[in-house]
Structure 1
Amino acid sequence: MVAAYRVAPRWMSTVASAGMLLAGALHLAVAVEHWSHAPAHALFFIGTGLVQIVWSLAFWRSASPPLQKVGFLLAAVLLLLWALTRVAPVPFEPGPEEVDAAGLATKACEAVCAAALVLMLVASAGPQTSGRSWRTVLGLTFVSLLLTGLTYGVARAAEPFLPGLKAEEAAPHEHPPAEPASQAPPATDDRQHVP
């Protein structure tokens, strides 16, 4: 018996492609600000951004099932790495990274991409194979957890061998401070002074 597959709506592949493209562009943009204090992070962002852009262009051209799976893995691993490095020390840094607007925007784009890809995997399955498509999604999620752990472990293990890529000790990584809250006007004396 041959499994029946349907074609997922085009808007799903457009959303997935656009989400990954925007995330890639954001990664390239933040690479510049990281270069001066943590070259390893800048190199990671450049590599990640380029891979995301190449994937999004390839997926725009042909939304094939293998590219759907690769895109989901890419987005899921990057989301998981981001979450992990908010609570555990970032490779090539002494501690966890802080949550910032650029990171949240990038992760939102990747989450939209991952969600669209899951919808595509499920929508393209025929009635007889819908259960199998969910098993595929669960399997890909498990693989992304393994890849996240492997990536994090390899990066942490590489730190002693690549000291030139470490964040500078004298200038710890800090994002620009948020605008200070407006100062309340000084208290005034409401009593009338009579000369």
Structure 2
Amino acid sequence: MLFNPLPTPTPTPTTTHNKPPKLSIDRTISDISMEFKAHETLIKDDKINNDDKDNNRDMEVLPAISEVEDAECECCGMSEECTPEYVRRVREKNCGRMVCGLCSEAVKEEMGKNGGSREEAVRAHVRACAGFNRVGRAFPVLCQAEAMREILRNSRAKSLSPRDRGGTSNNDKSGTKCGILRSSSCIPAISKAQAQRD
């Protein structure tokens, strides 16, 4: 049995009702719609008048738009549009230097590393950016070579530290730590044990 989603109409008894003439219903609908339109027009006119009054009040309350200027970061050289008040606040916060948002975050990280002096952190970040701008942007291959040199310098310093050299019996000839060392092979001992059993 198939399901029919649409209900089937039920038969209705045929009775005659006196229907009002269609013309009178149309006239009623038309009259009501005219009243609605007249009412909507009055409401719109009132809103326009009130909006004009509100706009005049808002114009009096709104502050003047402050002009923006291009401010260049003294660390990375990025330029961004800022209001003079914002530039003043940033300069107060960063020892008289204009610092963009990204460099400001780097200064915060530097403060965490070096004990919390903002002035020292700003100076260190400016030095790092100046070095990068001088070499890294102009000669990216040299920047990569410098990074590799720094990695090698750090790994060499680590391998020369007394803690890594140790001197314990767990180190092999190159000085790196190994696992458990044997003094001799275990095969002769196994052979000897088997020979004694036989």
Q: Which has the higher helix share?
A: 1
Q: Which has the higher strand share?
A: 2
Q: Which category describes the TM-score, using the shorter chain as reference length?
A: under 0.3
Q: Return the TM-score normalized by structure 1.
A: 0.19
